[in-house]
Amino acid sequence: MNPRTGLPTQAPLPPLNVSTTDDPRVVREAATEDYSLHVVPRSWRLGRLRLAMAWSSLLTAMFWIVVGATIALAVGTVDAIIGMALSAAVYGVINYALTRVATTSGLTVALLSRGLLGYFGAAVATLVFAAGAIYFATFEASVLSVAFQAQFGGSIALWYGVTILYALPLVIGGVRRWLDRLNAALLPLFVVGVIAAVIWSVVKYGYSDKWLHIPAASGSGIAGPGWLFAFSVFMGVWLIMFYTVDFARLGKTEHARFNGAVTFGPVFYTFAILANGLVGIFLTSTLPSSGTVSEASLVVGIVNLMGISGLIFIFATQTKINSANLYLASANLESFFSRVFGVRLPRWFWVGVAGLACYLFMLTNIFTFLLKALNYQATVVVAWVAIVLVELAFRRARREGLLDFRPGRVPAANVPGLTAWIVASALGITLLVATPAFAGTWGAPLTFVAAVALYAVLRGRFGNPTDRRPRPNDPRDEVSDVWGDRVRCHRCEKSYVAVEMDRDPSASYAPVCASCATSPAFLSAAWREMRPHQ
């Protein structure tokens, strides 16, 4: 009988092969994989500056610039600024909390979701993440394609191919070994480019304060206050919070507070949302344009204004943001197919799949459909964020420990989490279908409130089933340091940190890593072992 858990122990257990240093084979693999299917050990974490440089790719999306201008034309400058400021604050607070949990646990969105939604629910969350990242990659790659065409002419389909092909090799190297350096080199080009675009436009077209006094569009059909509409638009891209988890897990634990406040938190979003949005409003009001505001129209305006310098600026911004988009799309495709279908292929293959998907989407010219799809996806993401926040609040209030994520120690479906996620998402989608104008302002906030309320009730009533940990023979109880000790997996014969290891009831309780513990034989035996203790 285990004295800590009170559960019976299978005897005799095969001995653990324990070491205190990283497995060289795992380190070589991590150079491109970044532990996408495993917990990130403390030895693989990045310092504050390197992580900030890698994450700075999210700062440069043309989306931030364009959406500020688009919102201002719809609700007026004042309401747009209020909505952007409120969004920056909320993004900052939520991402601070997500940064702390990701840094402490070393978990991806896929692994974290297991403890919230169960094994199969987490797979759905991973697919949503991959689809959203592919969407953003498609959208942002089209921006650079338009810039190339504006400067050099030629077929847009050709430039679509160029922007995808040159980006693929850039994201195969992983964050620690490549993306931090790439984005550090490109960040000055973005900063100089933004400042140059503003100054250049003033020199050429003169300064006017009309950008501060844009009125709300008449007959816009917006249901509710303009500032709330602006806030809801930014809720539509809360997928960025998924990005936060997958990047913040690479941060050092001693830097969690700094990363939460600066790299991923309020400081970052003050620049990303508010500063970029103000630049977008100003440029849209200053640069001549013949048509509606879009990423394409603003890009053409910048290239027409600055020539080759403008193209270099756009190249820097879009290379930075798509390095993150394609990296996360490929990592989550790898995770989804390995979990659901047992397909285990290297990440460079999934980088190619993500790139091909982006190119095909661009060729079909279905961006209107993609925008609608993003609205539906946003409801699912908002509900996920709400559930995570409630779970964190419960764990903090009750001083509960690390949420378990190991395949053999989470249920196939975590009923409280999955119920709240499905019901709240269904509410948001129903609103989008039945009352699109109302949902444009109120859909995302109501989805969030519904998810919070429902999960809080279910969590308070039934707890989190994962915490019951009904299976005996936990390797965590057999080592002195779950983060410092490495245990060899009997399947892949590689050593990973003990915090992710389990014992395989389908193989005489030999130790097994989190990735190998997804085989049908293991899951069947583990879940069968759970039943008598539930």
> In this predicted structure, what is the pLDDT of residue 4?
47
**If DSSP states are collapsed to H, E and C, what string results for 404-458?**
CCCHHHCCCCCHHHHHHHHHHHHHHHHHHHHCHHHHHHHHHHHHHHHHHHHHHHH
Query: What is the rounded distance in angstroms from the CA atom of residue 41 to the CA atom of residue 31?
Result: 13
CB 517 within 8 A of CB 455: no
- For residue 489, which of 517, 527, 466 has the smallest C-alpha distance? 517
Place of tokens 């092909």: 165
Place of tokens 């003050």: 270
Query: What is the rounded distance in angstroms from the CA atom of residue 256 to the CA atom of residue 248?
Result: 8
Per-residue pLDDT tens over the stretch 275-315: 999 999 999 889 886 556 666 678 888 888 999 999 988 88
pTM listed for this prediction: 0.90
Structure tokens belonging to residue 38: 């495993």
Query: What is the rounded distance in angstroms from the CA atom of residue 160 to the CA atom of residue 134?
Result: 14
Alpha helix positions (H), 261-366: 266-269, 276-286, 295-306, 308-340, 347-364
In degrees, to the nearest 5, what angle opens at C-alpha 113 toward C-alphas 86 and 132?
60
CB 261 within 8 A of CB 96: yes
CB 491 within 8 A of CB 516: yes
DSSP-derived secondary structure for 145-197 = HHHHHHHH-S-HHHHHHHHHHHHGGGGTT-IIIIIHHHHHHHHHHHHHHHHHH
Residues in the chain: 534
Per-residue pLDDT tens over the stretch 191-239: 999 999 999 999 999 999 999 999 998 766 788 999 999 999 999 899 9
Structure tokens belonging to residue 91: 């993004």
- For residue 111, which of 123, 99, 103 has the smallest C-alpha distance? 123
**pLDDT under 50: residue ranges of the chain:** 1, 3-6
Whether omega for the bond prior to residue 12 falls within 30 degrees of 0, making it cis, is yes
Query: What is the rounded distance in angstroms from the CA atom of residue 329 to the CA atom of residue 136?
Result: 10
Q: Residue 188's Cα: distance from chain center in Å?
A: 24
Query: What is the rounded distance in angstroms from the CA atom of residue 385 to the CA atom of residue 376?
Result: 15
Dihedral sign, Cα of residue 445, residue 91, residue 376, residue 390: negative
Sequence-separated (6 or more) residues with CB below 8 Å from residue 239 = 129, 132, 133, 136, 377, 378, 381
- For residue 322, which of 530, 122, 515, 134 has the smallest C-alpha distance? 134
- Say if residue 78 is exposed, middle or buried (CB neighbours under 10 Å; 0-12, 13-18, 19+): middle
> In this predicted structure, what is the pLDDT of residue 5?
47
Per-residue pLDDT tens over the stretch 125-172: 999 999 989 988 988 888 889 889 988 999 999 999 999 999 888 887
DSSP-derived secondary structure for 470-482 = --S--GGGGSS-T
In degrees, to the nearest 5, what angle opens at C-alpha 486 toward C-alphas 480 and 489?
125
- Say if residue 7 is exposed, middle or buried (CB neighbours under 10 Å; 0-12, 13-18, 19+): middle
Query: What is the rounded distance in angstroms from the CA atom of residue 533 to the CA atom of residue 520?
Result: 21
- Enumerate helices (H) and strands (E) in the chain, giving the number of each: 20, 5
Q: Which residues pair with 124 in a beta bridge?
A: none
- Say if residue 466 is exposed, middle or buried (CB neighbours under 10 Å; 0-12, 13-18, 19+): buried
Structure tokens belonging to residue 267: 């400081």
